[in-house]
Amino acid sequence: MFISLLPTIVTLYFFSSTAVHASPCVAFDVQWNLLAFGLDGKDWNAGPQNTWANGTVADITASGRPPFDGTNTTCFLSQYANAIYVTNGDKSSPSSIHIYDAAAKSWSKQTVTTGSFDPGSFNAILDHDTNVFYALSHGELFHLDMGLLKAANSSALQWVDVEKAPYSSDYEPVMALAQNHVFFLNVPGVPAGSADIYVIHYNYFQPEAQAFPTSNGVIPATHGQTASFFQNQGVQEAFAFIPDDCSATYVLNVETNTTQSLAGPSTKDAGATYFAGLTSLVQLDSTGVVSYLPFNPNDTSANAAATWNKVVSLANVAPPTNTTSTSTTSPPKVSVTGTSRAKATSSGNSNNAIAVVAPTGIIGGLVSAAMLACAAMLF
Ligand SMILES: *[C@@H]1O[C@H](CO)[C@@H](O)[C@H](O)[C@H]1NC(C)=O
Ligand SMILES: *[C@@H]1O[C@H](CO)[C@@H](O)[C@H](O)[C@H]1NC(C)=O
Ligand SMILES: *[C@@H]1O[C@H](CO)[C@@H](O)[C@H](O)[C@H]1NC(C)=O
Ligand SMILES: *[C@@H]1O[C@H](CO)[C@@H](O)[C@H](O)[C@H]1NC(C)=O
Ligand SMILES: *[C@@H]1O[C@H](CO)[C@@H](O)[C@H](O)[C@H]1NC(C)=O
Ligand SMILES: *[C@@H]1O[C@H](CO)[C@@H](O)[C@H](O)[C@H]1NC(C)=O
């Protein structure tokens, strides 16, 4: 019991004393290697999907990277440029977009002027064909043309206010990209199971919502996360929607306008983020654990039987709640969930346990009776 309390105590320590949460993010490069940025303070290349169970991971931490200390840090793949664009990777420079050239393995920092755009509160997609970001922020639609940049341009880029979206300004955007269209889910007034659509090439909000029925019902109207499945060539044709309660994974196909209902993530975490490649949907939970659901665009019965698995190779090099090696400016983003406690305590690797227990001085010196009481209440 006491052992199982320790991770919670460490969590509370970081939460209450520094209130700094590192924000890692995951993405793929165009060879479909899984990249994890800012995980335990480093960046990693976990290689292709068939190596995640037992392969090796390369440390790709390089100079010029953002500190991954922002809020809502998000990674986007520009497939034509084979570059990863990172928004909110550096809290001291929230409007900048950091660019990782996946071929050159180098970083640069793009200056972006915001105008009326609020980099602290937005949701965005990166259009496949035009390499333009479309973002919804406080009810306003913005775009940002990234050219075909794989390294920062010396001239600033600019967020451009396109128009007011036909949604109330308190709509918390749930948006996804497929087939040069932006799909908005959970729009107030739109029936459950239907999406509103913005047609990128015509700058046009389609007035009619589009239904995406499942075989036995509809997608719930609720907030959640999305990730578009890439193809080797051409635009995305399907995207995943994961409701905040992680009760299921829905894959919406925008060619057939139908939805497959697949297994929900094993780790139920409303703070998790997602990235899809060709044949997998990857979850990064808020403790830094990376898991995936295999997906085959041509095989619905395989998808229905698919289960979530951990990316073991990443967990080996960057275990969750590895607080010893991480500086106080970027502790792992951790939360007091059953999962984080279970992960930290059930590991057979005694090094992991030591990593968690190590700050005995911290525990002895800083954990007050009040915090212990608080930690106990969480059980
Ligand atoms: C590594 O994992 C793959 C996929 O699960 C499996 O096919 C392979 O046999 C494993 N190799 C080793 C050396 O364990
Ligand atoms: C950004 O993060 C804050 C704090 O975690 C959260 O309240 C907010 O909803 C997030 N914004 C978006 C657009 O996800
Ligand atoms: C980069 O900068 C050059 C010169 O300042 C400019 O002509 C070009 O359009 C810029 N490219 C992008 C993608 O913004
Ligand atoms: C799917 O939805 C789009 C957008 O509403 C529509 O244009 C298209 O005709 C629909 N396709 C099918 C097969 O129903
Ligand atoms: C799905 O089918 C298409 C068309 O036959 C093929 O090009 C693609 O490689 C297939 N994808 C997978 C993951 O098997
Ligand atoms: C924690 O992570 C660092 C690098 O990020 C690594 O060097 C160290 O071995 C890890 N500690 C444990 C106990 O795994």
**Residue located via tokens 């719930």:** 220
- Report yes or no: 118 and 138 within 8 Å, Cβ to Cβ: yes
Taking CA atoms only, the protein residue closest to ligand 2 atom 13 is: 122
Give the separation between CA 342 and CA 340, rounded to whole angstroms: 5
How high does pLDDT run on average in the chain?
84
Q: Taking 90 as the threshold, does the pLDDT of residue 9 lie above it? A: no
Task: Name the pTM for this structure.
Answer: 0.80
Distance 156 CA to ligand 3 centre (A): 9
DSSP assignment letter at 55: -
The answer, yes or no, to whether any atom of ligand 1 lies below 6 A from the CB of 56, is no
Give the separation between CA 272 and CA 268, rounded to whole angstroms: 8
Q: What's residue 57's pLDDT?
A: 98
| Residue 169 binned pLDDT confidence (cut-offs 50, 70, 90) | confident
The answer, yes or no, to whether any atom of ligand 6 lies below 6 A from the CB of 21, is no
Tokens of 330: 């970027």
Q: What's residue 355's pLDDT?
A: 28
Q: What's residue 292's pLDDT?
A: 98
The answer, yes or no, to whether any atom of ligand 2 lies below 6 A from the CB of 335, is no
Q: Which amino acid is present at 342?
A: A
Q: Which amino acid is present at 172?
A: E
Taking CA atoms only, the protein residue closest to ligand 3 atom 5 is: 155
Give the separation between CA 303 and CA 312, rounded to whole angstroms: 21
Distance 218 CA to ligand 2 centre (A): 27
Distance 52 CA to ligand 1 centre (A): 9
**Class of the CATH domain delimited by 23-317:** mainly beta
Strands 112-113 and 157-158: parallel
Give the separation between CA 257 and CA 11, rounded to whole angstroms: 43
Output phi, psi for 7, to 5 deg.
Answer: -60, -35
Strands 157-158 and 140-145: unpaired
Q: Taking 80 as the threshold, does the pLDDT of residue 178 lie above it? A: yes
What average pLDDT does this structure show over 254-266? 98
Distance 256 CA to ligand 4 centre (A): 7
Domains of the chain by residue range: 23-317
Tokens of 200: 């990128």
The region, left, alpha or beta by phi > 0 then psi within -120 to 50, assigned to residue 151 is beta
| Residue 20 binned pLDDT confidence (cut-offs 50, 70, 90) | very low
Give the separation between CA 188 and CA 86, rounded to whole angstroms: 29
